[in-house]
């Protein structure tokens, strides 16, 4: 490729699949009543454009000592990610998912600001999936919620059931 000066020889296997990145994703919002028609006279179709974010990380924090030597004293690596800013539209409460087995899903472990967060609020959504590979945690959450002690009433009830 003449545009990439740093690639000298671009040989790809015969079975390489070339994936074209979308320019946008069309999301239908049935209740939407835009006055300006964005997509082919369809007021309920909204184009979502990709967003690009760049971060710098210190590679020495997650590589082996041998790999550290190969980094040639680089202090940071720049990573650029492009994605469509879309999150799942279907949601269910912790109470609704109790007793269900879910094939896959996205869970949010951030405690709501208006309620006391209980250990069950973490255990229930995580335990609904058959594998850790089929669930995704939506965003960073405070690790302290994983170290909570069970509610005293629960401890009493568990002791009662043991005896």
pLDDT in tens, 100-113: 999 988 898 888 88
Which neighbouring-strand residues pair with 103?
none
Q: Of all helices (H) and strands (E), which one includes residue 68?
A: helix 65-70
The residue from 56, 83, 110 where one domain ends is: 83
Do 67 and 111 share a domain, yes or no? no
Average pLDDT over residues 111-137: 85
**Stated pTM of the model:** 0.45
Q: How far apart are CA 109 and CA 101, in angstroms?
A: 18
Q: What angle do CA 48, 53, 57 make, to 5 degrees?
A: 155
15-55 tens-digit pLDDT: 777 778 888 888 877 777 766 556 566 777 788 889 999 98
**Which residue range is the domain that position 45 belongs to?**
25-83
pLDDT, tens digit, 9 for 90 and up, residues 81-107: 898 888 767 788 888 888 899 998 889
Cβ contacts of 21 within 8 Å, gap of 6 or more: 50, 82
If asked whether residues 77 and 106 sit together in one domain, one would say no
């Amino acid at each position: 490729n003449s545009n990439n000066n740093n690639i000298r020889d671009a040989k790809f296997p015969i079975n390489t699949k070339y994936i074209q990145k979308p320019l946008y994703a069309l999301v239908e919002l049935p209740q939407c009543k835009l006055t300006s028609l964005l997509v082919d006279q369809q007021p309920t179709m909204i184009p979502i454009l990709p967003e690009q974010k760049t971060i710098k990380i210190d590679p020495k924090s997650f590589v082996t000592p041998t790999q550290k030597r190969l980094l040639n004293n680089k202090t940071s690596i720049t990573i650029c990610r492009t994605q469509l800013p879309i999150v799942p539209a279907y949601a269910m409460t912790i109470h609704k998912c109790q007793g269900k087995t879910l094939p896959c899903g996205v869970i949010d472990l951030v405690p709501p600001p208006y309620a006391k967060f209980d250990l069950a609020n973490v255990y229930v959504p995580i335990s609904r999936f058959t594998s850790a590979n089929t669930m995704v945690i939506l965003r960073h959450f405070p690790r302290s919620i994983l170290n909570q002690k069970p509610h005293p009433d629960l401890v009493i009830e568990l002791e009662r059931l043991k005896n």
